[in-house]
Structure 1
Amino acid sequence: MLQIIGAGPAGLAAAITLARAGRGVVVHEAAAEVGSRFQGDHQGLENWTTERGILDDFREYGLTCDFARMPCRDGVAFDAWGNRYEFHSESPLLYTIERGPGPGTVDSALLAQARDLGVEVRVNSRVRRVEGPAILATGPRAADAIAVGFHFETSMPDGWWVICDDDLAPQGYAYVLVTNGRGTVKSCMFSGFKREAEYVARTVERFQNLVGLEMRNPQP
């Protein structure tokens, strides 16, 4: 029986691949629910790097696409001086997806597929030592980058906005994603982690000024 430590997308994808190949798999997740770290968070599933779409990659690797998503063909970017750049693509630049343990999320879809294939997923299972073959899928000990901010309810239209400005996100970018009345605003920074609260506050204020960011019931 092969052990996988971590039930994020990487761990579940590995479990699905192994189960499809006929291997017995047990996945250990330290949290009480798979995906709880990203409860209600909206993220972008990038689709512009190659000519073939990311969903085609999912299907080739045998991974489910049975999760809610919104294709984003139009977006708005701002530079550090507030100049606005609108862009459009015939094919989706990204898909807005939701993370977390709820219905329609990527995490729930991969979890359901893994269990349908006979994978045993154990929550509240913190592994101290592994005997036999194992895959460590818990992520790095220290982050190279962090994305911090809020998810919220809103009456804003669906959309995707991004700002490249070190005053908001050192060496990174800040963004807002809105889908069906729910949104996420984040500062994705590659340095300055100790000042994250300051950068998030600046990010919220800048998006309020530039695009009329409106948040109800914001949650970190």
Structure 2
Amino acid sequence: MAAVRSAARLAVASRADNRLPLILDAAARFFAEKGFGFTSMRDIAGMAGMLPGSLYYHFASKEELLVAVYAEGVRRIKAAVAPALAKAGDPWARLENVCAAHLEGLLEDSDYGQVVIRVRPDDAPEVAARLVALRDEYERTFAQAIQALPLPSRTDRRALKLMLLGALNWSQTWYRSGKDSPQTLARRFVRLLRDPLDA
């Protein structure tokens, strides 16, 4: 009898786990399109094909669901950037590849990428510290590419990182598919940084 109950629990848990990607995708879509404040758990449940109350089996609150979506967005961007960051060779070429991978990660996974870029920690004060920690975790990854550059000692590398990330992240607003590839844009951004040093 205990074995039957255990198997039933496993079946329920497995079914619940199968719904998780559906829930995250639905939440990412609504948070990206409507914003966190204008999205309800009912909206997300409807898109995921669930009853609103069923969402609370997975997430205690909309804020907890936001953290999960944000974490998945950061994970995807980091996964896109990691191979470029790991390559040895010229640090400027590495930065260009990291920038291109960052752009691709943002633009291809548009819902998750938009949540990471457009939902500000202040939009969800209850979990703001956790969102900031996730953002900072990724920025530290990006900072490795900046740190490796042969720059003058007076260069403020933190300001450079923030400026470059700001330009890349804003691409979600102005990017038009088919005009310039992420690699072309990354090359132009990096050239703007490098050319004055080579002059």
Query: Which is helix-richer, 1 or 2?
Result: 2
Q: TM-score, normalised by structure 2?
A: 0.30
Q: TM-score, normalised by structure 1?
A: 0.28
Larger radius of gyration: 2
